[in-house]
Amino acid sequence: MATQIKSGKKSKKKPIPVKTSLNNPFDYHWTPLNSDQMHFILNTLKDRISEIGLQKREVKAFRMWGKRKKPKKLEEAKEPSQQKIDVQPVQTSEQGWTDIAARKQLAIGINEVTKGLERNELSLVLVCNSVKPRHMTQHLIPLSKTRLVPACQVPRLSENLAGIMGLKCLLALGFKRETPAFTDTVAAIVPKVPSLDVAWVPSLAGQAVGSEEGHQEEKSEEREQARGQKRKLEETPGTTTPSSSCLQPLKVKRIVPNPSKIRKPKKNKLK
Q: List domains and CATH numbers for the chain.
A: 32-56+98-200 (3.30.1330.30)
* pLDDT value, residue 219: 59
Per-residue pLDDT in tens (0 to 9) along the chain, 271 residues? 455 555 555 556 777 777 777 777 788 889 999 999 999 999 999 999 999 999 888 766 555 565 555 555 555 555 554 444 444 444 444 678 898 999 999 999 999 999 999 999 999 999 999 888 888 999 999 999 999 999 999 999 999 999 999 999 999 999 999 888 999 999 999 999 999 888 877 765 444 444 455 556 565 556 655 554 444 434 444 444 444 455 667 676 677 777 677 767 777 766 5
CA 239 vs CA 55, 210, 236: distances in Å: 49, 7, 6
| Predicted local confidence at residue 66, as pLDDT | 58
Residue 222: C-alpha distances to residues 228, 229, 232 (Å) = 10, 10, 13
Residue type present at position 103: R
Alpha helices in the chain (DSSP H): 35-52, 72-77, 100-103, 110-118, 140-146, 157-165, 183-189, 204-227
- Give, in order, the Cα–Cα distances in Å from 243 to each of 80, 161, 185: 84, 37, 35
Query: Could you give the C-alpha distances from 76 to 86, 87, 116, in angstroms and in order?
Result: 15, 18, 52
Distance separating the N- and C-terminal Cα atoms of the chain: 16
26 C-beta neighbours (distance < 10 Å), count: 15
How much is the pLDDT for 12? 66
pLDDT at 114: 95
Spell out the residues 6+ positions from residue 227 whose beta carbon is closer than 8 angstroms to its own. Answer: none
* Cβ atoms within 10 Å, residue 158: 20
pTM: 0.60
Q: Are 85 and 112 in contact (CB under 8 A)?
A: no
Query: What pLDDT does 23 receive?
Result: 72
25 Cβ contact partners less than 8 Å away, ≥ 6 residues apart: 247, 248, 249, 250
